[in-house]
A and B are shown apart, each in its own frame.
Chain A
Amino acid sequence: MTNDNQIYFEDVELGDEIGPLEKVASDQGVIDFCTLWGNPIPNRFTSEEEAAKAKLSGPIVPGVMSMSLMAQLITDWAGPAALKDLDVVFRQPVPHNKPLIMTGTINDSRQEDGENIIQCDVLMTGTEGERYIIGTALVSLPSRS
């Protein structure tokens, strides 16, 4: 399952950066996500009033949606089935309609159970450097050999 743009295990080095990938979670995107998720609308993710009740400054992006945006940093880079493990901490609420910048830094590479594994720190920030999400990803890459 490789293609011309495929990244190989031998191509990456410790310290290499992944991304940046920029995404925006629009109001409509959050509504669509909540609908699919089965979270009744309005809720704190879609409504100013409901967000205020939850003592938030405005509607926020659900954690599961933010994580799904974050996963794209890896799948866009390494392929659709390359992401093995994504472990994130939600540091602060993620806002709607603002650029969300995702980056990764490779900090380990190893062979594990016959797979070529890359480990990287991943980060979602705002344009002012707000750290929304931090985490770690494990990625399986094919070998050239």
Chain B
Amino acid sequence: MALELEYDRSLYGKEHEAGPFEVTEDMIISFNQSISQAGPCYNNKDAAVEAGYRGIIAPPTLCTLFVRRVQLPDINLKFGKTRFHGGQRVQAKAPIVAGDSISASSHLKEVYAKTGRSGTMVFIVWETTFTNQLGEVVADVQESYAARE
């Protein structure tokens, strides 16, 4: 029998916005240092320009830093005592370049239950679209939070 999930379904279709966030060379280089990200296009403006970019480009996951700056409401899920970050997806649509100003818009994508060997878990998936100052979508990020019984 399918689990009847109780949560705030009125959140579907609502967008929660944040930003714009300035992406600076310093930010990209600090990000690279924290994860030991090498590569000339990520660290050297001349190399990036020579490769055809407007400036130093950000590694494709840098936008994940901004996801939690969007104030997301509690969906009031009536399930489980423990929650954890279950998964994440980044779809890179265009390079994020130093000097860009990107805005975030998040919405509740889906809530679903899955039953495995360790019991039932409920997944809450939020999707955030990032758009740069040119109106170009640069990335979609999905974050999945799991609630366990």
Contact = CB atoms under 8 A, between A and B. Distances in A.
A32 B33 CA distance: 8
B37 interface: yes
A85 B34 contact: no
Interface of B is mostly: mixed
Contacts of A1: 51-52
B65 interface: yes
Contacts, number: 99
A67 B64 contact: yes
B39 to A, nearest CB: 6
Interface of A: 1, 23, 25, 29-30, 32-33, 36-39, 63-65, 67-69, 71-72, 75-76, 80-81, 83-90, 135
26 contacts: A1-B51, A32-B30, A32-B33, A33-B34, A36-B30, A36-B34, A63-B85, A67-B64, A68-B35, A69-B35, A71-B59, A71-B90, A72-B59, A75-B39, A80-B39, A80-B42, A80-B95, A81-B57, A81-B92, A83-B60, A83-B92, A87-B87, A87-B88, A87-B142, A89-B87, A135-B87
Given A29-B34, A36-B31, 12 more contacts: A36-B65, A64-B67, A65-B34, A68-B31, A68-B64, A75-B39, A75-B60, A80-B57, A86-B90, A88-B88, A90-B86, A90-B87
